[in-house]
Amino acid sequence: MSKTILSFSGCSLWEMKRRLSQYKDLLREIDRDRLRLAQLAGRLAHINPAGLPQGVRIAAESLADYRDRIEENVVRCVELTRDIQDFINSIEESELRRVFTMRYINGYTWQKIAFGTGTYDESVPRKKHDRYLKMLFAKSAEHQ
pLDDT confidence of residue 54? 54
93-144 CATH fold: Arc Repressor Mutant, subunit A (1.10.10)
Fill in the amino acid letter for 72: E
Domain boundaries, the chain: 13-90, 93-144
pLDDT confidence of residue 38? 87
Give the residue with greater pLDDT, 134 vs 51: 134
Reported as a single tens digit per residue, the pLDDT across 25-83 is 999 999 999 998 888 776 533 445 555 555 555 555 677 788 899 999 999 999 999 99
